[in-house]
C-alpha cells in the first residue's frame, strides 16, 4: 500500500492501476486461449481474482471514476479499498459475460484473510504493530493461500462463478460489490483504459 496516492506511468491512481487494470489486462490477454483450451479439453477453466475485505472501505458509490485519473486528495486506504472492490466487480462481470457466451470458465474473487505481509511497509507505526502482534492474529502466507487454491482447484467449486470467497467458503461481499450496473460501468471504463494506454 502506498503512503500517498500517486500515479502510474499511464496516469492512473497507482493502487487501481496495479490491483485492477493490470489484472484486467492480463485476463483479457489470456481469455481467448482459455476459451479455446476449455472447448478443446472439455475441462472447466477457472479465473481467481485476489481481493480483500478492505473492498468495503471505499466511496458510497463504490468506484469514484473521477479519482482514478486524478488521485489528488484521495485517501490511500480508500484507494486500496476501491481497487479491491474493482477486483470483485471484475470477477462478477466476467462471470456474467462468460455465462452469457456459454463458456465453461468460472470467475470468482477471493479474500485470503489478514496475512503477515509487507503491505504496510510504508507505515512504520502500523508495520511495527503488525509485526509485533501479527504472528498471533494474522495468517501465514500458506494459510492465506488455502482459499485461493480451494477456489482454483477443488471439485466442490466446479460450476460456481461470480462469487466472493473467504475461509474456503462463499461469503457475502459489500453491497457495492454486488452492484451489477457498477460492474458493467467498471468493465467499460477498464476496456477504454487499456485501449488508450
Active site residues: 80
CA 170/CA 141 separation, integer angstroms: 20
CB-side exposure of 125: number of CA atoms within 13 Å? 1
Q: What is the DSSP letter of 140?
A: P
Q: Is 7 helix (H, G, I), strand (E, B) or coil?
A: strand
Query: Order of strands, edge to edge, in the sheet holding 169-171?
Result: 45-50, 105-111, 164-166, 169-171
Q: What is the separation, in whole angstroms, between the first and last Cα of the chain?
A: 23
Of 114, 98, 89, 100, nearest to 21 (Cα)? 89
Q: Which residue has the cell 461469503?
A: 171
CA 91/CA 144 separation, integer angstroms: 19
Q: Which residue has the cell 486506504?
A: 77
Of 65, 89, 94, 97, nearest to 79 (Cα)? 65
Amino acid at each position: 500500500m502506498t503512503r500517498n496516492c500517486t500515479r502510474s506511468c499511464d496516469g492512473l491512481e497507482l493502487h487501481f492501476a496495479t490491483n485492477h487494470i493490470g489484472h484486467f489486462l492480463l485476463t483479457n490477454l489470456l481469455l481467448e486461449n482459455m476459451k479455446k483450451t476449455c472447448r478443446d479439453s472439455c475441462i472447466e477453466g477457472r479465473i481467481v481474482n485476489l481481493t480483500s475485505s478492505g473492498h468495503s472501505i471505499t466511496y458510497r458509490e463504490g468506484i469514484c471514476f473521477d479519482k482514478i485519473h486524478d488521485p489528488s486528495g484521495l485517501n490511500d486506504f480508500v484507494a486500496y479499498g476501491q481497487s479491491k472492490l474493482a477486483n470483485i466487480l471484475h470477477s462478477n462481470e466476467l462471470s456474467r459475460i462468460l455465462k452469457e457466451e456459454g463458456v465453461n470458465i468460472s470467475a470468482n474473487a477471493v479474500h485470503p484473510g489478514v496475512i503477515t505481509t509487507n503491505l504496510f511497509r510504508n507505515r512504520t507505526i502500523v508495520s511495527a504493530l503488525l509485526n509485533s502482534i501479527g504472528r498471533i492474529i494474522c495468517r501465514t502466507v500458506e494459510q492465506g493461500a488455502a482459499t485461493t487454491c480451494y477456489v482454483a482447484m477443488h471439485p466442490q467449486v466446479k460450476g460456481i462463478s461470480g462469487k466472493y470467497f473467504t475461509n474456503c467458503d462463499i461469503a457475502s461481499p459489500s453491497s457495492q460489490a454486488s452492484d451489477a450496473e457498477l460492474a458493467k460501468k467498471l468493465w467499460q471504463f477498464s476496456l477504454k483504459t487499456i485501449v488508450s494506454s
